[in-house]
Amino acid sequence: MRVGVLALQGAFAEHIAVLEKLGIEAFEIRQPKDISKPFDGLVLPGGESTVMKKLLRKLNLLEPLKKNIENGMPVLATCAGMILLAGDIEGGEPPCFGTLDITVKRNAYGRQLGSFVCTENFNGALIEMRFIRAPYAVRVGENIEVLAVHDDKIVAVKQKNQIAVAFHPELTNDTTVYNLFIDMI
């Protein structure tokens, strides 16, 4: 099992460390030649979605990765990654991959005081969730499974092969979110 982690910016190293701890071969995706060999899953990390979006386009990674997602490759997207997948971004900003049928609100908890930790139900398990200038979903399509809600806001969703969470599972010791992703692969 090989999992590619988008490594243009943000918290990619932390994802790679967790995957390796779980015994999974993880590699960095920085340019098109990195995805020339077959792989089984994709992680889109947290960071700054506007920066990643620009780089994805500039480095010719947007179209090939989008094709992988559309062809059913399992994807785990965290925080900014959730924004990259979203079909709609509140405020009119154009989508990046646009493969996930949700509308996200960026920096939804406010820009400065938007970081907090809570314990919440994720798909039936109580887990610690770390939010850092996180988004949440303000609309989800009919084909979306809601995996977690915090303060009445949708913070984790699944649509077929795509899992998106507004928090940072790579910053806690709980691997529940990864297990769901790995089971899908």
Catalytic-residue membership of 79: yes
Catalytic-residue membership of 170: yes
Q: What mask of x and - would describe binding to ligand GLN in positions 74 to 93, judged by CB under 6 A?
A: -----xx--x----------
Binding part of the chain for ligand GLN, among 20-28, 47-55, 93-101, 141-149 by CB under 6 A, reads 47-55
Closest CB to ligand GLN among residues 82, 144: 82
In degrees and rounded to multiples of 5, residue 40 shows phi and psi of -110, -15
Cβ-proximal residues to 108 (8 Å cutoff; 6+ apart), any chain: 114, 134, 135, 136, 138, 153, 166
> Footprint of ligand GLN on residues 122-151 (CB under 6 A)?
132-133
Closest CB to ligand GLN among residues 71, 112: 112
Question: Which helix or strand (DSSP H or E) is residue 118 part of?
Answer: strand 116-122
- CA atoms within a 13 Å half-sphere pointing along the CA-CB vector of 35: 24
How would you classify the pairing of strands 41-44 and 2-6? parallel
The answer to the question of residue 169 lying near ligand GLN (CB under 6 A) is no
Burial of 59 (0-12, 13-18, 19+ CB in 10 A): middle
Catalytic-residue membership of 168: yes
The answer to the question of residue 105 lying near ligand GLN (CB under 6 A) is no
Catalytic residues: 79, 168, 170
- Which residues of the shown chain bind ligand GLN in the complex (CB under 6 A)? 46-49, 79-80, 83, 106-107, 132-133
